[in-house]
Amino acid sequence: MCHVVTITQTANGATSHTLCEQNQQGVVSSVNLTMSGLNVSLGYFLTVVVFGAAFRILFRKWPHLSVAAEFPASFVLVACWLEVQTIKEVGEWAGGLGPDVTLTILFLVLLTHGVICAGATGNPSLTLMNFLLLETHTLPTLLALAAQFLGAHLALLGAGYYWALELNDMHMIKNLMSRECSTALRVSLVQGVFSECVCAFIFYLIYLSLKRRSALIRVPLVAAVLTYFSHSASNYTMAFLNPSLAYGLTFYCPGFTFTEYSVVYWLGPIFGMTLALLLYMGHIPRIFTKNLLYSQKTRFRVPKGEGDKRK
């Protein structure tokens, strides 16, 4: 390192001093490239968020098209997460960014998404949960699912066009390796289904317990839990817990077929969500009217006087 080099009057000493200065310049140059890359990513995030917010404001004028709000919700989530994934895959390797940077960015993305997309989830599992809770009907549910997957697909296309612009070195590398992306599924199918199911089960239990809470409490906690699961399951499935998000992030990567990805990232979260709903409610309102796990509390209490007379 530079602070342990002894500078002498010999030629070797002068050469060592020159090499030290060159190393310093290289470090400064690397830091500048990293910061410029993050500035480009920040501009991308802002553009996507503004687009999603403008789309939602536009459709507020037509309440009967409220299902269309799922399109920007899914688009914003997938488009931003794709860039976070790029920062993680390329930035940590080429730019020297630590995992704490990507986790912080992911948390801020999820927090922003929860704020601007209030009322829309961008998550097919949550849409199906509302359907099972009798909060939505069949046709709006199907339209919402279609809007979510359409938003995810267009976000994937938009991100590909954005990477092709090669606005910085990170995107140039991403554009070169886009067809050979690394899959998020790094375990067998059985382990993948189990991982997604368990993470979804825990997450949706937490989500159901927070559903009636204030958005000031619910949105940050949900963002924190999703960030934690994504980090904890990074060596397994990444715990997307969102079928349309997984479709946009990893279905096009080689290593598994579309059917295999569907089993892990669609059936796993949906099955975990259903189990969480059954445990939390005691039944699934769309399927069972009777509570299967918990007995109903008596609505009317027996007066104390009558109880004393019987004794």
Alpha-helical runs (H) found in 252-311? 258-262, 268-281, 304-310
**For the chain, how long is the longest CA-to-CA vector?**
111
Tens digit of each residue's pLDDT (9 = 90 or more) over 84-93: 998 988 877 6
pLDDT at 64: 65
Q: In terms of Cα–Cα distance, which of 47, 234, 8 is closest to 155?
A: 47
Q: Cα(165)–Cα(302) distance, rounded to whole angstroms?
A: 75
pTM attached to this predicted model: 0.83
pLDDT at 288: 85
Indicate the Cα dihedral angle 141, 217, 221, 246, nearest 10°: 20
Please return the burial class of 159, using the count of CB atoms within 10 Å of its CB with bins 0-12, 13-18 and 19+: buried
Q: Cα(311)–Cα(284) distance, rounded to whole angstroms?
A: 41
Q: In terms of Cα–Cα distance, which of 273, 223, 256 is closest to 111?
A: 223
Query: What region does 60 belong to: left with phi over 0, alpha with psi -120 to 50, or beta?
Result: alpha
pLDDT at 228: 97
Do the beta carbons of residue 270 and residue 243 sit within 8 Å?
Answer: yes
Tens digit of each residue's pLDDT (9 = 90 or more) over 229-279: 999 999 999 999 999 999 999 999 988 999 999 999 999 999 999 999 999
Domain boundaries in the chain?
35-281
The dotted CATH code for 35-281 is: 1.20.1080.10
